[in-house]
Amino acid sequence: MKAISFAAGCLFASTALAQEPVLTVYAGDYVVSEWGPGPKIEEMFEARCGCDLQFKPGDLLPRLLLEGERTEADVVFGLNTDVTKRARESGLFAPHGVDLSPLTLPIDWTDDTFLPYNYGETAFVYDSTRLPEPPTSFAELLDAPDDLKIVIQDPRSSISGLAMALWVEAVYGDKAEDAWRKLAPKILTVTKGWSESYGLFTDGEADMVLSYTTSPAYHIIAEDDHSKKALIFPEGNYFMVELAAKLATTDQPELAQQFMEFLLTAEFQQMIATGNWSFPAALPHDQWPEGFKELELPSKVLFYSEDEAAALRDEAIEAWRRGLSQ
């Protein structure tokens, strides 16, 4: 009985509000929390579109693939490069039609379907008060004493974990398994997702955590804590980008297009750095927020195209699994 009245209440609520045009945006779960960028995006975009932007959080691609062409989504916000190949093959997405010349990414981006709005690179984050002399390269990290403890994420359940597997693959190629084996004694543990790892790191359980080059910005800006630093390796750090795309089946094509254009505007770009704790994808470095400007940027950025990544993925995960299973 309870469940039925719930359902009725929910249905009623969603029909009663349907006055102005609604833009439905599927977004990653973290986006919509009161601390995520969702509320700000909603406020900024609704001010210019005269519409109702509704975020629907949760799994992105699995849900879209399950729904297929009947999906209600107009735009999807928060895809990563690990799924773009499959997403593209689903045929559910339309070209974004946005001029890519304002992009300020460290790599060349020409994709006409998936539009980047922020990025970062995988990096080990450490606390310089606890670890005054961290390894300065990947090679030094592999040779570091075994009492240096690192937490990483599982490449089978986490995108940052997968990025690291590809990172090791990009740096060490067919020696990747050996690299993992040398790293193994230093891997304190592997977690399901980034949150668990980062929680362990902030609790002082591990010396280093697999995170992003942008993580220190949060501590600098929100906590005025300059001790958290990301390791920049001369071998390169692996590029991670977040993407938006427009559904081909959208019933609000103009609004969806407007939203895509909005993503590269200076207004959005200036907000997203601190909104999502990432580098803005289309904003010159001198316009970045203060805390971000002081971050050290990778000299070399590694990245596999989606086809290369798809070809290497299983091998990279296997190297990880075998290397750490010894």
Partner 1 sequence: MASRPLAIGAALIAAGLVLALVLGPVAAVLARAGGWGALGPGDWQALRFTLWQSLLSATFSVALAIPVARALARRRFPGRGLLISLLGAPFILPTIVAVLGLIAVFGQNGLINGSLRALGLPGFSVYGLHGVVLAHVFFNLPLATRLLLQGWLAIPAERFRLAVSLGLSPRAMFRTLELPMLLRIAPGAGAVIFVICLSSFAVALTLGGGPRATTVELAIYQAVRFDFDLGRAALLSMIQLGLALAAGLVALRLGTGGGFGAGLDRLVTRWDGRAGLPRVMDAVWIGLAALFLLTPLGMVVARGLPGLAQLGAGSWAAAWNSLTVALASTLLCLAWALPLSSRWGEWVGLVGLAVSPLVLGTGLFLIVRPFANPLSLALPVTTLVNALVALPFALRILRPEAEAVRADYARLAQALGLTPLAWVRLVLLPRLRRPLGFAAGLTAALSIGDLGVIALFADPERATLPLQVYRLMGSYQMEAAAGAALLLLIFSFGAFWLCDRGGRANADA
Q: Cα separation of 309 and 306, whole Å?
A: 5
- Residue pair 240/304 in contact (Cβ under 8 Å)? The answer is no
Contacts to partner 1 from residues 191-250, by CB under 8 A? 191-192, 194-196, 198-200, 202-206, 215, 218, 222
One-letter-per-residue 3-state SS of 37-90: CHHHHHHHHHHHHCCEEEEEECCCHHHHHHHHHHCCCCEEEEEEHHHHHHHHHC
For residue 190, list its beta bridge partners: 152
Contacts to partner 1 from residues 271-290, by CB under 8 A? 277
* 266 makes contact with partner 1 (CB under 8 A): no
* 173 makes contact with partner 1 (CB under 8 A): no
Residue 155: name the closest of 192, 195, 121 by CA. Answer: 192
* 48 makes contact with partner 1 (CB under 8 A): no
Residue among 195 and 299 whose Cβ is closer to partner 1: 195
- By CB under 8 A, how many residues form the interface with partner 1? 64
* 111 makes contact with partner 1 (CB under 8 A): no
Return the range that interacts with partner 1 (CB under 8 A); candidates 7-15, 102-110, 114-122, 164-172. Answer: 7-15
Give, as one character, the DSSP assignment of residue 235. Answer: T
- Residue pair 61/83 in contact (Cβ under 8 Å)? The answer is yes
Length of the chain: 326
Return the range that interacts with partner 1 (CB under 8 A); candidates 55-63, 135-143, 163-171, 259-267. Answer: 55-63
Return the range that interacts with partner 1 (CB under 8 A); candidates 62-70, 99-107, 167-175, 302-310. Answer: 62-70
Q: Cα separation of 59 and 102, whole Å?
A: 30
Contact residues for partner 1, defined by CB under 8 A: 2-4, 6-7, 10-11, 13-14, 29-30, 32-36, 38, 55-59, 61-63, 65-67, 70, 72, 82, 86, 149, 154, 156-157, 162, 184, 187-192, 194-196, 198-200, 202-206, 215, 218, 222, 277, 318, 320-321, 324-325
